[in-house]
Amino acid sequence: MRRLIAWLSVICAAGALALLATRRPAGLGANFDESDFAALIGKIGFLVLIGGAVLTVFRERFLQAIQWTLLWVAIGLLLVVAYAYRFELRDTGDRVLAELVPGLPIMHGGAVEIARSRNGEFQVAAQVNGAAVPMVLDTGASAVVLTHEAAKAAGLPLDFIRYTVNIDTANGRTQAAAVTLDQIKVGGIVERGVPALIAQPGQLKTSLLGMSFLNRLDGWEVRGGKLTMRARPSI
């Protein structure tokens, strides 16, 4: 029965096209000539044939075909909405990622934000001379302090440094070596020529992001479990 209805629909549509082809409808305007009318008939005929073929192929699964069509239309609309709000969604995604990955610097409104870790510290995923160096924010440290391993990863000349600067660590008073770092990068903030210290092997577990870096910023603050840092505007 469904097959008969489909074929009758195709035959009726073909008959209507044939009738249209023999008589040019009035009121199409002077600019709509015979060639344009013929092209229109051809396009309508093509759509009718495609529609008939679809009905024939999916005659037993017509409802399923409609469901899949609606599903893909919904997916397409979601993609359009996601593209239209891509910047807002990216900002939301960055904030969620910052909460899931403590220490990950997130750019927000020209500032770098870092979420506090579960142990209460601000872990900072920094780069020193291009090498990834995990640090901990330490406002009590007068300078950036690198572990011996971090200094080696940053390519510093450890064979030529001298440990002559007295510092206080969790293990007590010790000595460190004074150096100048070519570059420290935290998120989108890049500072060059930063004074720093290198701890002796085994004296420090984690590198410290101290005041020799923070004092170069335009501003920084800790509020609501977030560390916010703003770079100085370039001149």
pLDDT digits (tens, 9 = 90+) for 153-206: 999 989 889 999 988 766 677 889 999 999 999 988 999 999 999 999 888 889
pLDDT digits (tens, 9 = 90+) for 99-132: 555 567 777 777 888 888 888 888 898 999 999 9
Please answer whether residues 229 and 217 qualify as being in contact, where contact means their C-beta atoms are separated by less than 8 angstroms. yes
Going by C-alpha positions, the residue among 134, 180, 190 that lies closest to residue 156 is 180
The pLDDT of residue 204: 87
Q: What is the rounded average pLDDT of the residues 25-47?
A: 54
Q: Where are the beta strands (DSSP E) in the chain?
A: 106-108, 111-115, 123-128, 131-137, 144-146, 165-169, 172-186, 189-199, 207-209, 219-223, 226-230
Taking the chain, what is the end-to-end CA distance rounded to the nearest angstrom? 80
**Distance between CA atoms of 50 and 116, rounded to whole angstroms?**
60
Give the C-alpha distances (Å, rounded to integers) separating 47 from 17, 21, 44. 11, 16, 5
Q: For all residues of the chain together, what is the average pLDDT?
A: 75
What does pTM read for this prediction? 0.58
The pLDDT of residue 90: 58
Quote the distance between the C-alpha of residue 4 and its chain's center: 54
Quote the distance between the C-alpha of residue 191 and its chain's center: 24
Residue of higher predicted confidence among 219 and 73: 219
**Distance between CA atoms of 102 and 135, rounded to whole angstroms?**
11
CB neighbour list of residue 22: distance below 8 Å, 6 or more residues apart: none
- pLDDT tier, 70 (very low <50, low <70, confident <90, very high otherwise): confident
**Distance between CA atoms of 185 and 211, rounded to whole angstroms?**
15
* CATH fold of the domain at 102-230: Cathepsin D, subunit A; domain 1 (2.40.70)
